[in-house]
Amino acid sequence: MSREIEAIKQAVINGDSEATASLTEKALAAGIDPIEILERGISDGAKIVGEQFERMDIFLTELMLSGEAMIAGLNVVLPKIKSEEVPQKGKVVVGTVRGDVHEIGKNIFKSLLIANGFEVSDIGVDVPTSKFVEEAERIKADIIAVSALMTSTLGGQKDVIDFLEQIGIRDKYIVMVGGGPTNQVWADEIGADGFAETAPEAVRVASQLIEKRRA
Ligand code: B12
């Protein structure tokens, strides 16, 4: 890993917003790929902070400072991800489930979707189940993308699928799930159409699922 990326990761771990933002600017100026900054710098830093928090090596205030540092870095890097002039690929509703305020991964996924020619409606965090479906109906979405970051809120992803089934429109939408504790086994168990571990991979999965549906 390059020195620049390592420094960004460290600034996130230290919860230093100013350093994260300025190091991100420097890395971009040095020609480092924004996706590399996102995945190897900011996201990998987030993983380490999460592990430290879990082991109780750091307190909630430190977790919060790191959260702010991640956002400071994202604010610099996300606008630099080039939006390609590609034909509109599809419409996606993205949000984080009820009871869960984690938004960083969702925001990265959203930015990459936009950069890759998708139209995105971001309904935010702590979103009630029915709101995912209402918004999908409103914008005539192709995909409903449901993010969850805690084991205690994962069930919110299943709730969205169950709700679609209850009102008889499950087949109308592609449902994708993702975020920290989700995995392929969980996605299969709840009958989701797609899962991905990282945002770039999630964009590829979204494109494939839409192509398959339209074929
Ligand atoms: C930053 C952070 C916070 C910040 C959030 C800031 C913000 N505005 O989002 C703050 C400080 C607010 C916070 C609060 C809390 N947090 Co917190 N937090 C984290 C931390 C360190 C990083 C999360 C993150 O942003 N990761 C970086 C992003 C890029 O990763 P990601 O979200 O997984 O997203 C990637 C992929 O998953 C994918 N993706 C994401 N969404 C989607 C959606 C779809 C459809 C697809 C396909 C893909 C996809 O793309 C992304 C990019 O590649 C994690 C630790 C961790 N390892 O995750 C803990 C963590 C998630 N938090 C945790 C906890 C416990 C909390 C609190 C309850 C703490 C407290 N006691 O108050 C509160 C929760 C409040 C609430 N009701 O939601 C726990 C959850 C434990 C568990 N087992 O469930 C974790 C795992 C830490 C830990 N190890 O204990 N947190």
Each residue's pLDDT tens digit, 53-108: 989 999 999 999 999 999 999 999 988 887 665 567 899 999 999 999 999 999 98
Cα gap 110→113, rounded to integer Å: 5
20 CB-contact burial (10 Å; exposed 0-12 / middle 13-18 / buried 19+): buried
Q: Supply the CATH classification number for the domain 3-80.
A: 1.10.1240.10
- Residues with beta carbon inside 6 Å of ligand 1? 43, 46-47, 49-50, 53-54, 60, 63-64, 67, 70, 99-106, 108-109, 145-147, 149-152, 176-181, 196, 198-199, 202
Q: How many CA atoms lie within 13 A of 83 on its CB side?
A: 12
Ligand 1 centroid – CA 102 distance (Å): 5
The residue ranges of every structural domain in the chain are: 3-80, 90-214
User: pTM of the entire structure?
Assistant: 0.92
What CATH superfamily is the domain 90-214?
Cobalamin-binding domain (3.40.50.280)
